[in-house]
Amino acid sequence: MKGYSLFLNAAALSPSTPYASPALDLIRKECGLMGTKEGCREGDCGACAVLVGGFEAEGLRYRALPSCLLASGYLADRHLITIEGLGPGLSPVQKAFLEENASQCGFCSPGFIMALTGWICEPEKLNLPGAMAAVDGNLCRCTGYGAIRRASERLVAEFSDLPLTATERLKALANQGVLPQSVFAYGAWIQERKAAKVVARVQTRDVAGGIVAGGTDFYVRTPEPALGFSPVLAKSLPELEGMNILEIQGRKALRIGAAATVREFFSSPLVREWVPGIEKFESSFASTLIRNLATLGGNIANASPVGDLTSMLLALDAELEIKGRGIRRIPLKAFFLGYKKIDLLPGEIIVSICIPLAESPLRFSFAKITKRENLDIAAVNIAIAFHEDKGRFHGVQISAGGVAPTPLLLAKAMEELEGRPIPPDGDTVNRVAEAAMVEVSPIGDVRGSAEYRRKMTGRLVQANFLNLFPNGSLAKELYP
Ligand SMILES: Cc1cc2nc3c(=O)[nH]c(=O)nc-3n(C[C@H](O)[C@H](O)[C@H](O)COP(=O)(O)OP(=O)(O)OC[C@H]3O[C@@H](n4cnc5c(N)ncnc54)[C@H](O)[C@@H]3O)c2cc1C
Ligand code: FES
Ligand code: FES
């Protein structure tokens, strides 16, 4: 992608910012739009949040994204709306902030306003927990969150009757001033570009520099990529184009494109049908802003010993489809060869992730220990999946992150549980927890000592059973 064009607020732009540079630099340094703030530059504060629109299967969609971790090239042929692009006049979200005194120094306000605007765009019924989840990646250091909560309550009341289909909702939001009229101008611009066949050409496969998918790991490691660095942007790869789509292959497996975002994974009706209850664990992964951008492929290939999606997918017995010269398939459990070492040859990419399906839906639970509830990488995480067969545990998979150089399956703990009656008693759970603690080989670091991690492994195994079997006497048996 040599040159690229985007629609910035109400006009088209062909920027000179290299496509590998973070969009925050394009916005502030090249365009001089200082409303988008630079706080942490690590995805941690939400001050840099912007709205990004593009056409998806169900029409034009807008999402709030952290511009400090977003490749400028991601914006090619998309609509970028910064705080300056709302209006004319104050948008209803800005008005709610003003009238509820939700802004003091104002540094965080553009980020909150863009995150809440993105939340209103989601074709779902609005409620206060949804608003609070939408800003779980935004920090305010002076106003206090009470006023921001009041502004959100006002928005829930004001916009309770929005259409639930993406296109109708977009029209309603533009008519009511939540989104600017430029969304229509963007639609017309992109149609013209498509007709003239000038939409961004896909990247060829053999560009040196590696892949950037969501960039939420990459840009934390490389906040200012070297000039001339030219990564392949995953979404522009022919192999991954459209691969965020989730599908059932026959009745055998659920296939998820590696470029699916964490948000898309958890909100997929297919994933929710086959792994009931998995959506409860979405909020344990980072924040809404990060989940809107981070991909499954990135979580796996990053090879962190404590990746949350990786642990979940290990417990779900996932298999990877890898494309290089040809296609090969390997179980996820065989992909990790050592600390940050993976079975991926130069030029290969993970194309999709397959979760095997049985006759009955899986039962699943996940738990992690972090310092902060949101936004934090775990010290330890544990996921459990199994089927119920004639009242007994069947096909048990227990995975652990943060307790060895690689994410791993806990074979002894799995063996201990296989075939036991459902629901389990306290003794069974304790035996599984003890087996897990013996099996792990953690080291100490800033997130916890080795001993702490070993103990937390056992506690998280127990926590998962309490998630799965909340009724009955298990809690009393475990903690008399
Ligand atoms: C504030 C913050 C909070 C976070 N919280 C969590 C958390 O709670 N839990 C958690 O697990 N992680 C967390 N992360 C880490 C990160 O968001 C995840 O690991 C994410 O899934 C990475 O995906 P990505 O698409 O952004 O990866 P990228 O940064 O784009 O890529 C990561 C690596 O994977 C490679 N890659 C990407 N896609 C492919 C592919 N298809 N094939 C081959 N290689 C590929 C890239 O080349 C790169 O080396 C957090 C990050 C931040 C900034
Ligand atoms: S600057 Fe803090 S999240 Fe981007
Ligand atoms: S208003 Fe000052 S940081 Fe939020």
Mutate which of 40, 107, 112 for ligand 2? The one with the most ligand atoms within 8 Å of its CB, which is 40
- Label residue 205 by pLDDT band (50, 70, 90): very low
Compute the average pLDDT of residues 453-471. 96
Q: Which pLDDT belongs to residue 452?
A: 92
Pocket of ligand 2 (CB under 6 A): 38-41, 43-48, 66, 68
Compute the average pLDDT of residues 283-297. 96
Q: Taking 80 as the threshold, does the pLDDT of residue 243 lie above it?
A: no
Interval 31-53: pLDDT, tens: 999 999 999 999 999 999 999 99
Mutate which of 211, 229, 323 for ligand 1? The one with the most ligand atoms within 8 Å of its CB, which is 211
- Together in a domain, 198 and 277: no
Number of domains in the chain: 2
Q: Which pLDDT belongs to residue 91?
A: 98
Cβ of 258 closer than 6 Å to ligand 1, yes or no, is yes
CATH of residue 55: 3.10.20.30
Mutate which of 27, 48, 50, 109 for ligand 2? The one with the most ligand atoms within 8 Å of its CB, which is 48
Q: Is 349 contained in some domain?
A: yes
Q: Which residue has the CA at smallest separation from atom 2 of ligand 3?
A: 105
Q: Which residue has the CA at smallest separation from atom 5 of ligand 1?
A: 286
- Together in a domain, 226 and 252: no
Residue 377 vs residue 81, higher pLDDT:
81
Pocket of ligand 3 (CB under 6 A): 103-109, 140-143
Q: Which pLDDT belongs to residue 186?
A: 98
- Together in a domain, 331 and 410: yes
Least confident of 9-13, 157-161, 225-229, 465-469: 225-229
Q: Taking 70 as the threshold, does the pLDDT of residue 206 lie above it?
A: no
Cβ of 239 closer than 6 Å to ligand 1, yes or no, is no
- With beta carbons less than 8 A apart as the criterion, state whether 349 and 211 touch: yes
Q: Taking 60 as the threshold, does the pLDDT of residue 99 lie above it?
A: yes
Residues in the chain, how many?
480
Interval 409-434: pLDDT, tens: 999 999 999 999 999 999 999 999 99
Global confidence as pTM: 0.96
CATH of residue 418: 3.30.465.10
Residue 227 vs residue 12, higher pLDDT:
12
Q: Which pLDDT belongs to residue 412?
A: 97
Among 388, 381, 394, 405, CA closest to 461: 381
Q: Which residue has the CA at smallest separation from atom 38 of ligand 1?
A: 298
Q: Taking 90 as the threshold, does the pLDDT of residue 245 lie above it?
A: no
- The residues, ordered by sequence, that sit 6+ positions from 100 with a Cβ below 8 Å of its Cβ are 147, 148, 150, 151, 154
Radius of gyration of the chain (CA): 23
- Together in a domain, 304 and 402: yes
Q: Is 241 contained in some domain?
A: no
Whole-number Å distance, alpha carbon 310 to ligand 1 midpoint, is: 10
- Together in a domain, 266 and 228: no
Which string of DSSP letters, residue by residue, matches 350-384? EEEEEEE--SSPPEEEEEEE-SSSSS---SEEEEE
Q: Which pLDDT belongs to residue 65?
A: 98
Whole-number Å distance, alpha carbon 214 to ligand 1 midpoint, is: 7
Helix axes 166-175 and 109-121, enclosed angle (nearest 10): 130
- Together in a domain, 195 and 328: no
- Together in a domain, 225 and 252: no
- pLDDT-above-70 percentage for the chain: 96
The amino acid at 131: A
- Together in a domain, 205 and 306: no
Compute the average pLDDT of residues 111-124. 97
Pick the atom of ligand 3 nearest to 142's CA: 2
The CA distance from 368 to 391, in Å, is 28
Among 233, 254, 270, the domain-final residue is 233
Cβ of 305 closer than 6 Å to ligand 1, yes or no, is no
Q: Which pLDDT belongs to residue 235?
A: 77
Among 233, 258, 286, the domain-final residue is 233
Q: Is 240 contained in some domain?
A: no
Compute the average pLDDT of residues 174-195. 96
- Together in a domain, 155 and 287: no
Q: Is 239 contained in some domain?
A: no
- Together in a domain, 441 and 370: yes
Q: Which pLDDT belongs to residue 394?
A: 95
Q: Which pLDDT belongs to residue 244?
A: 66
- With beta carbons less than 8 A apart as the criterion, state whether 266 and 299 touch: no
Range of the domain at 408: 246-478
Q: Which residue has the CA at smallest separation from atom 4 of ligand 3?
A: 140
Q: Taking 80 as the threshold, does the pLDDT of residue 269 lie above it?
A: yes
Q: Which pLDDT belongs to residue 289?
A: 98
- Together in a domain, 193 and 332: no
- With beta carbons less than 8 A apart as the criterion, state whether 235 and 39 touch: no
Pick the atom of ligand 3 nearest to 103's CA: 1
Whole-number Å distance, alpha carbon 375 to ligand 2 midpoint, is: 12
Q: Which pLDDT belongs to residue 203?
A: 53
Residue 214 structure tokens: 């969501």
Pick the atom of ligand 1 nearest to 213's CA: 30
Give the chain's mean pLDDT.
92
Among 233, 267, 288, the domain-final residue is 233
- The residues, ordered by sequence, that sit 6+ positions from 157 with a Cβ below 8 Å of its Cβ are none
φ, ψ of residue 321 in degrees (nearest 5)? -105, 120
Q: Taking 70 as the threshold, does the pLDDT of residue 356 lie above it?
A: yes
φ, ψ of residue 352 in degrees (nearest 5)? -155, 170
- With beta carbons less than 8 A apart as the criterion, state whether 134 and 174 touch: no
Whole-number Å distance, alpha carbon 305 to ligand 3 midpoint, is: 35
Compute the average pLDDT of residues 131-146. 94
Q: Which residue has the CA at smallest separation from atom 3 of ligand 2?
A: 43
